[in-house]
């Protein structure tokens, strides 16, 4: 799409990428999927208008044009009934997870998470000394009966959870989507046991199917559910731009927090550019195009896995998002496998990082199909398949 000379090559190595390697761990958009020329035009146009607006502190709640754009888009596309009081702009979804943890919990409080769940969120919860209770998932998402068991145990201990953190659609790391029936059951549990649902909804736009289940926020009528979103996956992570949906009281509480008061809202410069870009219609056109690009990448990965992995290896079939979750045979420990793969210049995300109890992921790894070119994806999977075979010889 872009003809920039810089690509996903050895010269350009974003976060954690070893030059010259095949980074199948990288959950970033590939450089050729980032619309830099449209962005450049938007920046130039913003500089030709009221340029000082770009350089001032912003509103605590975030850029009003961006808020308005997102509110109208949600109401139109998902038939929500929200106003600008239900949405605030954030410095990425990660900023939101940190803010929510800061304001809704204290050290020692309990929360619920999926097992496995998003590694960097677990990291934030650990930083805050939160007591995480992990609930297993299957191909339909978190197992509700297991959640009930945990809630009953916590009730008996008098330490009911403050919130349940979940990536409900095309989950990181497994690519699994939580079914609508389970979402509805969990909303009932949240009312019964009094916890907030925090849904980290960063992949739902990257879908390869027509229909996905409604969000927790939508199903719960906007009550007791906080929904995070981001521009990182559909535009670029370097923008550090995301949003939070919640009921008006919750949003007010976050907007008046010390950090935003003092900091003048999330990244006002970027927010103005992103607002102009979105209002031009370019974002929606880009998302439509992206879905096809990522679907092709997923298909390349699934075909390569089918061709090159022995029968002892299994994996998920994501309907969207960035990730495939691979299960190795019992005799291969992922830490050993990772060492050998790295020696062969292939890097993946070890399953162990995605669990509260790391040992639960000792036979798993996450492959990302978002970042590497098709040929590297295939070459990387050929190498991994070969290594599994070598490690399986008696």
Ligand X SMILES: Cc1ncc(COP(=O)(O)O)c(C=O)c1O
Closer CB to ligand X, residue 325 or residue 383? 325
Residue choice 100, 113, 135, 202 for contact with ligand X (CB under 6 A): 202
Is residue 93 involved in binding ligand X (CB under 6 A)?
A: yes
Cβ 308 to ligand X shortest distance, Å: 26
Q: Judged by CB under 6 A, which stretch of 88-96, 104-112, 176-184, 258-266 contacts ligand X?
A: 88-96
318 contacts ligand X (rule: CB under 6 A): no
Q: Does residue 371 interact with ligand X by CB under 6 A?
A: no
- 86-94, 125-133, 217-225, 330-338 -> range binding ligand X (CB under 6 A): 86-94
Assess whether the previous peptide bond of 94 is cis (omega < 30° from 0).
no
From 38-46, 87-95, 182-190, 281-289, span contacting ligand X (CB under 6 A): 87-95
User: How many CB atoms are located within 10 Å of the residue 33 CB?
Assistant: 21
Q: CA angle, corner 298, sides to 297 and 299, nearest 5?
A: 90
Does position 172 interact with ligand X (CB under 6 A)? The reply is: yes
Minimum distance from residue 188 beta carbon to ligand X (Å)? 24
Expressed in angstroms, the distance from the first to the final Cα of the chain is 48
Nearest to 33 by CA among 212, 209, 296, 280: 296
Closest approach of ligand X to the CB of residue 298, in Å = 16
**How many positions of this chain bind ligand X (CB under 6 A)?**
13
Taking CB under 6 A as the criterion, the residue among 23, 35, 92, 213 binding ligand X is 92
Residue 11 to residues 5, 8, 18, 21: CA-CA distances in angstroms?
A: 10, 8, 10, 12
C-alpha span between 59 and 44 (Å, rounded): 23
DSSP string, 5-63: S--SSTT---TTPPTTSEETT--S--GGGS-HHHHHHHHHHHHTS-THHHHS---TT--
For ligand X, the closer CB: 39 or 118: 118
94 binds ligand X (CB under 6 A): yes
Calpha distance 128→101 (Å, rounded):
8
Sign of CA dihedral 183, 184, 186, 187: positive
If the CB atoms of residues 118 and 369 are measured against ligand X, the closer one turns out to be 118
Region binding ligand X by CB under 6 A among candidate stretches 91-99, 210-218, 299-307, 330-338: 91-99
227-246: which residues touch ligand X (CB under 6 A)? 230, 232, 237, 242
Supply the minimum distance, in Å, between the C-beta of residue 37 and ligand X: 22
- Interface with ligand X includes 86 (CB under 6 A)? no
Helices marked H in the chain: 36-47, 52-55, 64-78, 92-104, 119-127, 144-156, 180-193, 216-219, 248-255, 258-263, 268-279, 282-308, 334-343, 374-391
Kindly state whether residue 111 participates in binding ligand X, applying the rule CB under 6 A: no
Site for ligand X, rule CB under 6 A: 27, 92-94, 118, 167, 172, 200, 202, 230, 232, 237, 242
């Amino acid at each position: 799409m872009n003809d920039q000379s810089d690509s996903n090559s050895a010269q350009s190595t974003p976060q954690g990428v070893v030059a010259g390697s095949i980074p199948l761990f990288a959950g970033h958009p590939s450089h050729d999927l980032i619309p830099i020329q449209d962005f450049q035009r938007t920046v130039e146009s913003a500089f030709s208008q009221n340029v000082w607006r770009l350089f001032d502190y912003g509103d605590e709640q975030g850029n009003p044009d961006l808020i308005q754009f997102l509110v109208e888009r949600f109401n139109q596309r998902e038939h929500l009934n929200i106003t600008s009081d239900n949405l605030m702009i954030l410095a990425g979804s990660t900023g939101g997870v940190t803010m929510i943890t800061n304001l809704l919990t204290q050290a020692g409080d309990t929360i619920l998470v999926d097992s496995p769940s998003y590694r960097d969120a677990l990291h934030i919860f650990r930083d805050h000394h939160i007591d995480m209770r992990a609930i297993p998932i299957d191909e339909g998402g978190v197992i509700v009966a297991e959640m009930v068991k945990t809630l009953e145990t916590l009730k008996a201990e008098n330490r009911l959870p403050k919130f349940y953190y979940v990536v409900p659609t095309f989950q990181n790391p497994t690519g699994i989507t939580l079914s609508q029936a389970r979402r509805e059951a969990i909303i009932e549990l949240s009312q019964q046991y009094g916890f907030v649902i925090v849904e980290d909804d960063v992949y739902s736009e990257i879908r390869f199917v027509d229909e996905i289940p409604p969000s927790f926020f939508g199903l719960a009528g906007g009550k007791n559910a906080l929904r995070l979103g981001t521009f990182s996956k559909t535009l670029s992570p370097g923008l550090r731009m995301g949003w939070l949906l919640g009921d008006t009281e919750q949003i007010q509480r976050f907007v008046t927090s010390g950090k935003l008061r003092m900091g003048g809202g999330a990244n006002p410069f970027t927010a103005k550019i992103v607002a102009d870009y979105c209002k031009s219609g370019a974002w929606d056109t880009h998302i439509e195009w992206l879905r096809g690009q990522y679907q092709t990448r997923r298909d390349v990965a699934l075909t390569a896995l089918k061709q090159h992995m022995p029968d002892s290896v299994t994996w998920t079939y994501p309907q969207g998002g960035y990730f495939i979750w691979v299960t190795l045979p019992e005799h291969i420990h992922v830490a050993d496998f990772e060492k050998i793969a790295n020696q062969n210049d292939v890097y993946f995300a070890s399953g162990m990082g995605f669990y509260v109890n790391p040992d639960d992921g000792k036979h798993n790894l996450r492959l990302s199909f978002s970042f590497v070119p098709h040929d590297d994806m295939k070459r990387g999977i050929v190498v991994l398949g070969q290594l599994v075979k070598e490690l399986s010889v008696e």
